[in-house]
Amino acid sequence: MFAVIEIGGKQYQVEEKEELLIEKIDATEGQNLTVKTVVLFAKSDSDVEVGMPYVQGATVELKVLEEVKGDKIRVFKMKAKKRYARTQGHRQKYWNVKVLKITKVAGKKPAAPKEDDKATEEKPAKKKAAPKK
């Protein structure tokens, strides 16, 4: 069983008892998080449910293990012929999280609109523009 979740504007494919690095969010070390933004939920390769935009009733429970710093990157700015050069380093902070469980509560799917409902919906009449003088 696996799921695709959305945290901090990024999507991650997760499985139960898996550890992964996510960008740092508002949480504390040792805290349990419940993620309801499940984009895709799959029990098996043949039983896959895709959300629009999210799967109803699906949740993923995470436990924040520790804060980790990523690899250092170098940022270099230079202006040619002006003797201007600046080097700056950056290390992104991540949370190391463990997936505790992935659950899906069976819920009602939204009913498709009936054809009669479509026929009764009419667009408002457009207003005519004033004649030009």
Q: What would the 3-class secondary structure string for 77-122 be?
A: EEECCCCEEEEEEEEEEEEEEEEEEEEECCCCCCCCCCHHHHHHCC
> What is the side-by-side order of every strand in the sheet holding 10-15?
10-15, 2-7, 38-42, 48-50
The predicted structure's pLDDT at residue 108: 60
Q: Tens-of-pLDDT digits for all 133 residues of the chain?
A: 999 999 999 999 999 999 999 999 999 999 999 999 999 999 988 899 999 999 999 999 999 999 999 999 999 999 999 999 999 999 999 999 999 999 998 766 655 566 665 556 677 778 888 888 7
The predicted structure's pLDDT at residue 112: 59
The predicted structure's pLDDT at residue 129: 84
Tell me the C-alpha distance between 17 and 99, whole Å: 5
**Model confidence pTM above 0.85:** no
Asked if 95 and 21 count as a contact pair (C-beta separation under 8 A), the reply is yes
Tell me the C-alpha distance between 103 and 80, whole Å: 57
